[in-house]
Structure 1
């Protein structure tokens, strides 16, 4: 299993693991789902446990990347990390609060999720949610 090193605002380091398959969905379904504009990359969020699942949905030679930014009440970035699903179609990268550090997103923060395909940051889509559970 490969790992991606990420640098957070304030210099904190975190890692996200890549896997060959997606994680099991929560029993009540994902809280949020966003796709690249062409549908070839997908990111899903379960707020409880800060579970974030990024997957490559198509064998097109490009891999999805997602940047997760958490903001304080003043709109300043307090945590940030990147996930990459580089293993080809069906591969995923997963982050969860159990990894600690930047992956444990503070309750009540606004979270921006940007997803695109590499190379060239094509087919970008951006979503936002309040991490409230």
Structure 2
């Protein structure tokens, strides 16, 4: 049977450093490490909503979620009436979400400008149960 020996002082410190990094790294790397206090939320207009759209003006954060296993995907449009530009998002699969913010190309909204936010369900080219609101970026 091999003899067991005590680890050196340096080995113990290295093990402690590795364990500390392993515990703290997932928390630091988590993209959702802080909770967002959403300014606005709307749902698709079906009886048991299958899509949810949320908006946080600070950072222009837009999140679209498919919240029901109904065979439809969630669909959103953000329309700028001043420029005529429309930004779209689609996400499918119950529980899946897609998020965009000011750091994404084309998603930096003009502060103080009103935008039309629309959420619906989609299947192919078919859009159903839309609901829309006007919110200020």
Instruction: Report the TM-score, using the length of structure 1 for normalisation.
Output: 0.70
Unmatched 5+ residue regions in structure 2?
A: 1-30
Alpha-carbon distance, 1:28 to partner: 6.0
Root mean square deviation, CA, Å: 1.9
Is 1:127 matched with 2:133?
A: yes
Pick one of 95, 99, 106 that aligns with 2:104. Answer: 99
Is 1:113 matched with 2:123?
A: no
Identify, as 1 or 2, the structure richer in strand: 1
Is 1:61 matched with 2:75?
A: no
Pick one of 46, 62, 65 that aligns with 1:52. Answer: 62
Deviations 1:23-66 (A, max 9, x none): 74964620000000121100000001100000000011101100
Unmatched 5+ residue regions in structure 1?
A: 1-22
Check conservation: 1:52, 1:96, Cα contact below 8 A. yes
Q: Which residue number corresponds to residue 10 of structure 2? A: none
Q: Which residue number corresponds to residue 3 of structure 1? A: none
Three-state SS of the structure 2 residue aligned to 1:44 is strand
* Count of matched residue positions in the alignment of Structure 1 and Structure 2: 103
Three-state SS of the structure 2 residue aligned to 1:59 is coil
Pick one of 28, 32, 38 that aligns with 1:30. Answer: 38
Alpha-carbon distance, 1:71 to partner: 2.8
Alpha-carbon distance in 1 for matches of 2:97, 2:134? 21
Instruction: Report the TM-score, using the length of structure 2 for normalisation.
Output: 0.68
Say which structure, 1 or 2, has more relative contact order (CA 8 Å, 6+ apart): 1
Pick one of 83, 86, 101 that aligns with 2:89. Answer: 83
Alpha-carbon distance, 1:123 to partner: 1.1
Q: Which structure would you say has the larger Rg? A: 2
Q: Which residue number corresponds to residue 17 of structure 2? A: none
